Structure 1
Amino acid sequence: MTRENLRTGVYDLRPAGSLDLAGTAALRRSVLKILPEQPRVLLLGLDGIDVRDPLNLNVLPSLDKRVMLDCGIRLECYVNPVTETGRRIRELIGWRIALHTNRAAALAAADQATAAAHRTYRHLAPGADAVREARAITRDCCRRWGVPQMADTAQLIVSELVTNAVQHARTEMDLVITHRGAQLHLQVRDTAYAPALFPIEPLTSLVYHVGDDRIGGRGLMIVAMLASACGTTVGMHAKTVWASLRVRPAA
């Protein structure tokens, strides 16, 4: 996952090899690992897979439901229709999921479907101004997207996420804010590899024990208390610390 993925919101997966039980499990893990990044669209190229057991193709409609219905992210699959793999996939599950002929067609369909999507990306330097800039971006997003009632809480959370990156990662970072349906998603990506540590147990107050090695500091405790969900995704070259807020009705 690169900075270009974050900027455009477009993520590509091109699985290769046998789509046996191990292959379907690996494909599912790869897709689920991307979801916390809150992409605008996930493009899934199927030309490289070898369909040994037709039943294993059921993983594709299952992922389509998980990604699009549960997470609100566009999943667009494509495969060359004139190849043996393409013909077989279309024959077996073409009636269950949308299949495009190539990557360009899949991306065009995704662009049309997500033209009005609420998503903002910003690259931030690890300096003293990062928190102030992130707060301003968050406040502006909430205003433009018609959820001003979420601005205060979202700004507090993004302040803690960016502060955590500035103090502990000390690297450049990427801020992505997404609004889909009733969810406002905030994420900060840096290039330090140690995961951010959230509290293990549910929080009901800001009381904490200084010597408790299960927590990463008061900032992440605030995030865990305010967010409807939060976590850390660690990749090969970076980590993403994220939080989701359920959008409450305006007063």
Structure 2
Amino acid sequence: MRLAWEIETDLPVAVIRLAGELSVETAPEVRLAVATALAIQPAAVVVDLAALTAADDVVRTVFSECARSAAAWPGCPVVLSCPSGDVAAGLDRLSVSRSVVVHPDLGQALAALEEVPAPLRLWQRLTATPSITGPAARATVVAACETWGVGEDAGLQHVANRAELVVTELISNAILHAKTEIELTVALREPFLHISVADGSGAPPRLMSADSVETVGGRGLILVEALATKWGYLPTRDGKVVWAMLRLDPPRHGPGVATPDHPAN
């Protein structure tokens, strides 16, 4: 039996509705659904399990995995909406509720998230045209930093120059390797500024050596790794999203890369 899913992106909360059977074979679809929802950087994600069945208990731990991934980036909660029944009983047996909040219905889940602060957020769709896309992306990041940091957050002003460089390399990487339409999201979740670039290619980003950098006039993900507190990527239904987090105060040493299976610390 297949597992189907759809996402309602009525921000600030994204709702994922799962329908079908959760099994070892279909569990990757749950990860993909959550990653696709996270790509828009919502305030929170609710996974509705009302139309879900489960082949065995162990696969239910996929929800704990998804919650850990969301905590690493973009730092938002993932909660479950699950009426009483076999699926709910299985969640209890595996103590999934220790790592993921479980509500008995969607209404209660949404009500519980009303107080979760929505991040300040800018979103922009761009074409893969180097002469236009790069400057437009930089302008968006600069505008975000100026708007959110004027007169109250010196840390955000400090990070603006690094953010410009990071978005330039993320956009250049997407133009060179994906050659698809690009979606840029800039969000403020203190103490981090988040920059993410979604494209239509499922190929993971490659961190190349300094001697083999192939970017459009830039230094590629090597520079992103040097400037970001941490960065990584997630596969989505339509491709992938590559993200970077920049701490508002001077960056700590030891930035890292996070993959879907290995979040950076």
The verdict on a shared fold, with TM-score over 0.5 as the criterion, is: yes
176, 193, 210: which one aligns with 2:185: 176
Alignment check: 8 A CA contact 1:14 1:46 kept: yes
1:133 aligns to what? Answer: 136
Q: How many residues align?
A: 233
Alignment check: 8 A CA contact 2:7 2:15 kept: no
113, 123, 126: which one aligns with 1:124: 126
Alignment check: 8 A CA contact 1:80 1:101 kept: yes
Deviation (angstroms), 1:155: 0.9
Kindly provide the amino acid, as one letter, of the partner of residue 142 in structure 2: R
Deviation (angstroms), 1:122: 1.6
% same residue: 24
Larger strand proportion of the pair: 2
Kindly provide the amino acid, as one letter, of the partner of residue 113 in structure 1: V
Deviation (angstroms), 1:49: 3.1
Mean alpha-carbon deviation: is it higher for 93-102 or for 126-135?
93-102
Alignment check: 8 A CA contact 2:46 2:80 kept: yes
Indicate the SS of the match to 1:177. strand
**Aligned equivalents of 2:73, 2:49: Cα separation in 1:** 22
1:12 aligns to what? Answer: 16
Deviation (angstroms), 1:177: 1.6
1:156 aligns to what? Answer: 165
**Aligned equivalents of 2:180, 2:113: Cα separation in 1:** 32
**Aligned equivalents of 2:61, 2:201: Cα separation in 1:** 37
**Aligned equivalents of 2:117, 2:250: Cα separation in 1:** 24
Unpaired runs of 5+ in structure 2? 252-265
Alignment check: 8 A CA contact 2:128 2:180 kept: yes
TM-score w.r.t. structure 1 length? 0.70
Per-residue CA deviation, residues 26-84 of structure 1 (Å, 9 max, x unaligned), is 4885478558736322222223133744x775665675466448862121210124xx2
**Aligned equivalents of 1:85, 1:149: Cα separation in 2:** 52
1:204 aligns to what? Answer: none
RMSD: 4.0
**Aligned equivalents of 2:142, 2:158: Cα separation in 1:** 10
TM-score w.r.t. structure 2 length? 0.66
85, 90, 103: which one aligns with 2:106: 103
Deviation (angstroms), 1:226: 1.6
Alignment check: 8 A CA contact 2:38 2:74 kept: no
CA gap of 1:232–1:62, structure 2 versus 1, over 3 A, is closer
Larger helix proportion of the pair: 1
Indicate the SS of the match to 2:41. coil
1:8-157, aligned counterparts within 5 Å? 10=14, 12=16, 14=18, 16-17=20-21, 22=24, 26=28, 29-30=31-32, 33=35, 37=39, 39-40=41-42, 41-47=44-50, 48-50=52-54, 52-53=56-57, 60=63, 64=67, 67-68=70-71, 72-81=75-84, 84-85=85-86, 88=89, 96=98, 97-115=100-118, 117-127=119-129, 128-143=131-146, 144-145=148-149, 146=153, 147-157=156-166
Alignment check: 8 A CA contact 1:118 1:180 kept: yes
Kindly provide the amino acid, as one letter, of the partner of residue 118 in structure 1: L
